[in-house]
Structure 1
Amino acid sequence: MEHVDGFGEFDLGNNFDLLDLPSFDEFLINEIDDITLSQVCETIEFENAAYEGLLDFSLSPGNGNSSMMEIESKDIASSESRFAQPVSDDDIKNLIKDQENVNTKNNTKWAMNLFEKWRASRGGDIPELNHMTSEQMSFWLGRFVMEARKKDGTEYPPRSIYLILCGLLRFLKDNGVYDKNFLDESNGEFAEFRKLVDARMKSLIDKGLGCDVKQADPILPQDEETLWLKSVFGRETAEQLQHTVFFYACKLFGLRGYDEHHSLQCEQFKIGEDSAGRYIQFTGRATKTYKGGLGHLNVQSKNLKHHSPPGDRCMVDYFELYLESLGNTGAFYRRPLPPTDEVLIRFGQQLVGVNKLKSFMKTIAEKGELKGNFSNHSGKRTCATQLYISGVSEQEIMRRTGHRSEKSVRKYKRSSEQIDVAVSKILDPPQNKSVCVKSENGVEPPRKKVKCESASEENCSSEFRVLQDLTNSNKAVFANCSFNFRIGN
């Protein structure tokens, strides 16, 4: 069965975007080469040793014992302030739990609730999932995949089936069951179950389920210009400025729909200037594609610098004004306040609500009267699409969006209307040039008569007269054509 990227992190509503779903790899156990890990640990120990001055420590016969006693006494004296208080098992569990993605937790809970409701509807003695044997799990999960339905009784699309199984697998791992990975192709105990899932997903595709995936539309350049002309973007009011900064934080730095914005801090932005001009520097933190754990030792967080030329739409000026209005510290999205006689742009200390932040892009599109399916994910898609249309390399697009594979970033690139029209013209059948082509309004283009511009009609060649008679008749039509003639010798 094909490995599917992009699952796990999603909106549980009806219009969730499949591109919000985190990779299935994220809830598999990350495997790290032991040699690589040991080398990294040695490097860290070396750096710590150098930092603490231990590399310069010498055990010479003259001062060895006294130096050792002195260092030991210093270690004992400073140990109380150097180390944290002893941690409990609950502290460790809470730390691990807090680092789990909220949407991933919701996906696990949703999948288990669905499974438990199905188990109750069956009425029999179906064991609890984490207490099943491999044989029982293969049997009952197969029945569950075949019988699961939405609340309205309709069948789930193929990817939803896969999401549900991913949620059930995470539940097993959260409860210490690691030896029953029914999606692992190397696990022969569940080979028949995977064949069933594969056949089930294919049969749903045959029924047309899951073929039309609803995705967020990008904001194309003409729509972006409309937002400026209709004053949706600007810096006359706090709300207008916030909407502008929100959109361009998505577009310039490829920020994700909600999760990256929710935790965004003013300290992650820096205004600077170099030989190329003024710039905004953004430093990312933990995201869906960068967690910072053992599995991401060779992955770095975003560190992007965006230069903007001076002008009335210079983004450096907009971000600088916005950051100054927030005091250059703290949460990046706070509630706008009404202007005063002294200060036009004001923000309070209260954070923008979750639901309001999630609807920012939809609000922007509605104010601009844009047509399409716009959500907060439109911002990241706008970044990838506009770079793609302009011919930027996939490597640079990935650097901006934060994707770690070409396959993932290609899902974000959407064709523009101009590209679609050009491709359509290329693939259309050749036009019959003997038939008059009418314009878009259905009116036949006017015929242009050919005139001989020589001093007298007698100077026109016989060939030119033939062409003149032909084009001035109703038997042929020439449109948008240029003719060059050489009269005489």
Structure 2
Amino acid sequence: MDSLTDKIYDKENCIYLSQCEDDFYYPEEQSVVSEAKSTLTTQDVSSTEPLPGPSTSTTSGVAVKQRFASVLTEDALNHQIALQKNTNTANKTRREVAVFDEWKINMTAERRPLHEIPPADLDNSLASFFWSVKMKNGKEYEPDSLSSYQKSIDRHLREMRYNKSIIRDDEFQRSRESLAAKRKKLKAEGKGNMPCKASALTESDETKLIESGQLGTSSPDAIINTVWFNMTKLFGLRGSNEHHQMTWGDVVVKQDQRGEYLEYNERVTKTRKGEPGNTRKFSPKAYAVPDNKKICPVQVHREYELRRPQTMKCPTSPFYLGIQTSTAILERGIWFRAQPMGRNKIDTIMKRMCTAAGLDGKLTNHSARKTSITRLLHAGVPPNTVAQLSGHKTLAV
């Protein structure tokens, strides 16, 4: 496709789209080529006459419309900012702020919005809240759960342009002391041991998953399980959202002197949101393991590619696809559908395959990630390297 007529111009993103099979379009990688072709249609490149400036060009109005989007209203801009926030964090913030609101209305008759309460009054309310709040069933919170309330309330106040931080500023020293005292009391009572935390997988657990057919390439479910397991364990992805937003072009097969490997190009994550200086220092790699073809990351990735519909092999195609149910299509060797896998199914991959393999313990999607971090640390990998892989903000991994 050498002519511009073979492409579609996406005005919203100012890029040309190249055609893939079945009219599926994806962004052209070499946008510079498209821009050069576009330039050749309007002027002779050998001309020595200077280009007209923005104020004199007869096409400047069209160029401006193509390059600059309409100015957003304040509500529209706030909506776009909200869309980029972590959904789980936003929901947790709303829930915990609502609990504090309910407490202050019922216990102190304080009905002012949080961001309208003077620091001295808010500090006193928070000090009492941290010491007295309990779960719905009347039991005490875990120490970290109380600290989560503090972080959520501080996050909410920042969003409302409150001019003080309840975590850092001197005006909230009393509430911080109250929280610290309550945490110490709870720890003395045996709280804080996190009895419900996810367990890491043992090597024996992994063997059972392979032997039971939950990991491998023998079925569509096994391929999805293994691809997800490798992405989480080898690249440190979080168990749900980071998988859900992946596209096919995020993982590529490459080769160097050591052999073939998968390379992962990270998108936005919970702790790395694309700000300058807040990105991975390296693109993680997972080398082929020829002696273990059932879970070899390169071998499984190639098998997954082979079983995908042709239209779902473009870089912008969803990475995780729904499993095909049509017998006729399955007989042709295509095991997956041309549509993304549902979020709920991705969320429960570990639980489903561990149940099928008869594994015991608190095993959730987080277990695969925890397995990766635990084994790296036990193998003597420096904590800062582990933090880079896992995406933790601190070295307390």
* TM-score normalised per structure 2: 0.78
**Conservation of the 8 A alpha-carbon contact between 2:324 and 2:337:** yes
Partner residue of 1:6? none
1:299 is aligned to 2:279 = yes
1:276 is aligned to 2:258 = yes
Closer/same/farther in 2, CA of residues 71 and 217 from structure 1, 3 Å limit: same
Partner residue of 1:403? 392
Closer/same/farther in 2, CA of residues 72 and 301 from structure 1, 3 Å limit: farther
Closer/same/farther in 2, CA of residues 398 and 165 from structure 1, 3 Å limit: closer
1:73 to 38, 49, 56: 56
Closer/same/farther in 2, CA of residues 121 and 379 from structure 1, 3 Å limit: same
Q: CA deviation at 1:126?
A: 4.7
Higher alpha-carbon Rg: 1
Partner residue of 1:61? none
Quick one: which amino acid aligns to residue 166 of structure 2? F
What 5-or-longer segments of structure 2 have no aligned partner? 1-34, 37-48
Deviations 1:24-56 (A, max 9, x none): xxxxxxxxxxxxxxxxxxxxxxxxxxx99xxxx
Partner residue of 1:135? 120
Q: CA deviation at 1:133?
A: 0.9
Deviations 1:131-186 (A, max 9, x none): 21112111222222222111111122221111112111122122221x231221xx
2:361 to 364, 369, 372: 372
Q: Mapping of 1:427-438 within 5 angstroms? A: none
Q: Mapping of 1:68-467 within 5 angstroms? A: 72-74=55-57, 76=60, 78-122=63-107, 124-177=109-162, 179-184=163-168, 187-293=169-275, 296-297=276-277, 299-300=279-280, 303-311=283-291, 312-313=293-294, 314-326=296-308, 327-329=312-314, 330-338=317-325, 339-340=327-328, 342-407=331-396, 409=397
Q: CA deviation at 1:301?
A: 6.7
The alignment yields a C-alpha RMSD, in angstroms, of 2.6
Deviations 1:216-258 (A, max 9, x none): 2222222211211121112121111111111111111111121
Deviates more, 1:132-141 or 1:321-330: 321-330
Closer/same/farther in 2, CA of residues 190 and 390 from structure 1, 3 Å limit: closer
Tell me, in whole angstroms, the C-alpha distance in 2 between the residues paired with 1:253 and 1:300: 11
**SS of match in other structure, 1:348:** strand
Q: CA deviation at 1:120?
A: 3.5
**Conservation of the 8 A alpha-carbon contact between 2:281 and 2:388:** no
Q: CA deviation at 1:380?
A: 1.1
Quick one: which amino acid aligns to residue 332 of structure 1? F
Tell me, in whole angstroms, the C-alpha distance in 1 between the residues paired with 2:270 and 2:91: 15
**SS of match in other structure, 1:271:** strand
Q: CA deviation at 1:70?
A: 5.2
Tell me, in whole angstroms, the C-alpha distance in 2 between the residues paired with 1:123 and 1:309: 63
**Conservation of the 8 A alpha-carbon contact between 2:104 and 2:125:** no
Closer/same/farther in 2, CA of residues 83 and 385 from structure 1, 3 Å limit: same
**Conservation of the 8 A alpha-carbon contact between 2:318 and 2:339:** no
What 5-or-longer segments of structure 1 have no aligned partner? 1-50, 53-65, 410-489
**SS of match in other structure, 1:216:** coil
Tell me, in whole angstroms, the C-alpha distance in 1 between the residues paired with 2:377 and 2:150: 34
* TM-score normalised per structure 1: 0.64
Tell me, in whole angstroms, the C-alpha distance in 1 between the residues paired with 2:386 and 2:108: 52
**SS of match in other structure, 2:389:** helix
**SS of match in other structure, 1:73:** coil
Q: CA deviation at 1:208?
A: 2.0
**Conservation of the 8 A alpha-carbon contact between 1:264 and 1:332:** yes
Count residues in correspondence. Answer: 341
Deviates more, 1:279-288 or 1:205-214: 205-214
Closer/same/farther in 2, CA of residues 401 and 189 from structure 1, 3 Å limit: closer
**Conservation of the 8 A alpha-carbon contact between 1:336 and 1:348:** yes
**Conservation of the 8 A alpha-carbon contact between 1:280 and 1:316:** yes
Q: Give the structure, 1 or 2, with the largest relative contact order (CA under 8 Å, sep 6 or more).
A: 2
Q: CA deviation at 1:397?
A: 2.9
- Identity among equivalent positions (%) equals 26
**Conservation of the 8 A alpha-carbon contact between 2:217 and 2:223:** yes
Tell me, in whole angstroms, the C-alpha distance in 1 between the residues paired with 2:235 and 2:67: 38
Closer/same/farther in 2, CA of residues 176 and 70 from structure 1, 3 Å limit: closer
Deviates more, 1:333-342 or 1:246-255: 333-342
Deviates more, 1:155-164 or 1:113-122: 113-122
